[in-house]
A and B are shown apart, each in its own frame.
Chain A
Amino acid sequence: MYEQIAFYLFSVLTVTLFLITVMSKNVLYAMTSLAAGMVLISGFFFILGADFLGVVQLIVYVGAVMALYSFAMMFFDATRNIKEKSTHPALVFGLGGMSALVLVMMFAAPLYSEKIQAFYPMHPEAGNAQDVGIVLFTKYLIPFEVAAVMLLVAMIAGIILAGKKMDVSFTQDLSVDDEIMKQKDAK
């Protein structure tokens, strides 16, 4: 009963917020509604009893990914509306709608036939985090490790891209200004 009320509340709110994200022309509205939608999605995990995944959703998507987006958004003037350039709105609408439909059908098909079965059912007595850990370190060990290597590669690439003058303090050394001006001239 409570779960159903919570589910419908969360779904309506999430869909509305993500609609605002897509429709709004204001950077600030889009960003806020996307972050709020991410918070509400973690609510679905809590309803399903997957506490651990819910909190991971909070920490990773709300705390880290969205914060990085918003960091990028600071390059825009947040108080003005953005003029979007869309040359083929009908094409975008058709392709987007089709892919969404295909995605929904892919995920809904096994549910509809009610043949879905958990290979690794939850153990309520062991707790959620343990279940996730056991599956990650047995069945999905290789994808897990590959993802770790991929993140390491991304991290090293990020450091190399950003760290060209890492040992120079920009606030202390005035010769850095000349350097920046030179690079600007070269461009």
Chain B
Amino acid sequence: MEATALGIVIKAIIILAIISAIAGFGTYLERKVLAFMQRRLGPMHVGPYGLLQILADGIKLFTKEDIIPQNANRLIFGIAPAITAATAFIALAGVPVFPDFTIPEFIPLLGGTFVPSVAADINIGILFVLGMMAAGLYGPLLAGMAQANKWGIIGAARTAIQFLSYEVVTGLSILAPIMIVGSLSLVDFNNYSSDHAWLMFTQPVAFVLFLIAGFAETNRTPFDLLEHEAEVVSGYATEYSGMRWGMFFIGEYANMITISILAAVVFMGGYNDLFFLPGWLAVLLKISFVFFFMLWVRAAWPHVRPDQLMWLCWKVLMPIAVINVVVTGIVMMV
């Protein structure tokens, strides 16, 4: 069925509403998961089991004083958080989240509208998502440079080296699956895994590399050197407070979800029906598992040093990724 403009608008609203809600709820989940792993209870006081903590956090963020440092460049200082949030959500336009579905007829006004699996089904979806996430580096970068703070500058410099280096690994690791599937469209990836084995079994090396690089690109714990509290106070976000800081946070969580969706669609079979599970539930479980995995790693592993980060990227991960691409090519040709 042909996707109508209305269907695409509905899809975009679904993505925006669900992802920004989950991104907020993700902070609660993160604190709870970390607490249980450290034998604590985590947030308990606001609402049952601390479920309303997110609401309290929201009120706190909105009512905090919005401080702009004296020597900061006010315009860029204000734009930077918006860049992070915007690029994170634009990247989501290119990923298929749920299967195609048609809104049932009994719902007034919208009944019978066909909602496609992906908001913008461009043929090069996977490159678009990676490119948009690459553009996301300007958020922390400009924030660090605009705030007239030495910690901020160090945070910005780390942003540039970390994101630039790990983009290489992400791109190379995902190149081997692209060669196997022979398409850059994420919908094709999903269709491929409906009648082949999941790519995480045929391309285990690429899967592990993609996850590691995904951690670095979303600024997750073994590699969260951009705002490493113990070293650079809060890195690029040192001078930010209130809602501006919240936008960085929402962008970061949206990026985590994008990486989770990419891992689920590319490597873990996407939104195809799994045994008795319907497709939408299967993909939700997969996405949640990758998201949980990110929190799990945060609880289990310490930070790395910046020089270890670069060593890992250029001397370990990138050569493995290149070898993986070459071996995949040889196997495909023979």
Give per-residue flags for A40-77: 1 if the beta carbon is below 8 A from chain B beta carbons, else 0. Answer: 00000000000110011011001110011011011000
A4 sits at the interface (CB 8 A): no
Choose from B131, B148, B183, B305 the contact partner of A59 (Cβ within 8 Å): B131
Interface residues of B in 115-171 (CB under 8 A from A): 122-124, 127-128, 130-132, 134-135, 137-138, 141-142, 145-146, 148, 153, 156-157, 160-161, 163-164, 167, 171
Nearest to B142 among chain A residues (CB) is A32
Contact (Cβ within 8 A) A67 B141: yes
Which A residues are CB-close (under 8 A) to B79?
32
Which A residues are CB-close (under 8 A) to B161?
71
A78 sits at the interface (CB 8 A): yes
Which B residues are CB-close (under 8 A) to A67?
137, 141, 160, 163-164
Cα A58 to Cα B138 in complex, Å, equals 13
Interchain Cβ contacts within 8 Å, total number: 93
Contact (Cβ within 8 A) B131 A58: yes
Choose from B75, B134, B306 the contact partner of A63 (Cβ within 8 Å): B134
Write the nearest CB–CB distance from A122 to chain B, whole angstroms: 12
Contact (Cβ within 8 A) A28 B123: no
Interface residues of A in 132-187 (CB under 8 A from B): 169-171
Write the nearest CB–CB distance from B171 to chain A, whole angstroms: 8
B212 sits at the interface (CB 8 A): no
Give per-residue flags for A78-106: 1 if the beta carbon is below 8 A from chain B beta carbons, else 0. Answer: 11000000000000000000000000000
A26 sits at the interface (CB 8 A): yes
**Chain A, interface SS category:** helix
B71 sits at the interface (CB 8 A): yes
Which A residues are CB-close (under 8 A) to B138?
32, 35, 62, 70
Cα A28 to Cα B156 in complex, Å, equals 13
Write the nearest CB–CB distance from B155 to chain A, whole angstroms: 11
Contact (Cβ within 8 A) A55 B128: yes
Which B residues are CB-close (under 8 A) to A171?
305-307
Write the nearest CB–CB distance from A3 to chain B, whole angstroms: 15
Write the nearest CB–CB distance from A77 to chain B, whole angstroms: 9
Q: How many of chain A's residues touch chain B, expressed as a range?
A: 20 to 34
Q: Provided the pairs A51-B123, A58-B131, A129-B184 are in contact, do residues A79 and B71 lie with their beta carbons within 8 angstroms?
A: yes
B73 sits at the interface (CB 8 A): yes
Which B residues are CB-close (under 8 A) to A35?
138
Write the nearest CB–CB distance from B71 to chain A, whole angstroms: 5
Nearest to B134 among chain A residues (CB) is A63
Which B residues are CB-close (under 8 A) to A55?
124, 127-128, 131
Write the nearest CB–CB distance from A149 to chain B, whole angstroms: 17
B72 sits at the interface (CB 8 A): yes
Write the nearest CB–CB distance from B9 to chain A, whole angstroms: 15
Q: Provided the pairs A51-B124, A128-B123 are in contact, do residues A170 and B307 lie with their beta carbons within 8 angstroms?
A: yes
B55 sits at the interface (CB 8 A): no
Which A residues are CB-close (under 8 A) to B171?
59
Write the nearest CB–CB distance from A172 to chain B, whole angstroms: 8
Interface residues of B in 78-109 (CB under 8 A from A): 79
B300 sits at the interface (CB 8 A): no
Q: Provided the pairs A64-B164, A71-B160 are in contact, do residues A59 and B127 lie with their beta carbons within 8 angstroms?
A: yes
Choose from B127, B135, B157, B306 the contact partner of A62 (Cβ within 8 Å): B135
Contact (Cβ within 8 A) A78 B167: no
Contact (Cβ within 8 A) A129 B73: no
Q: Provided the pairs A67-B164, A128-B123 are in contact, do residues A28 and B76 lie with their beta carbons within 8 angstroms?
A: yes
A17 sits at the interface (CB 8 A): no
Can you sample 15 A-B contacts with CB below 8 Å?
Answer: A28-B142, A29-B76, A55-B131, A58-B131, A58-B134, A62-B131, A67-B141, A67-B164, A70-B141, A74-B145, A74-B153, A74-B157, A79-B71, A128-B124, A129-B123
Top 10 closest A-B pairs, CB basis? Answer: A63-B134, A58-B131, A55-B127, A59-B131, A78-B145, A71-B160, A127-B123, A79-B148, A62-B135, A55-B131
Chain A interface residues toward B at CB < 8 A:
26, 28-29, 31-32, 35, 39, 51-52, 55-56, 58-59, 62-64, 67-68, 70-71, 73-74, 78-79, 127-129, 169-171
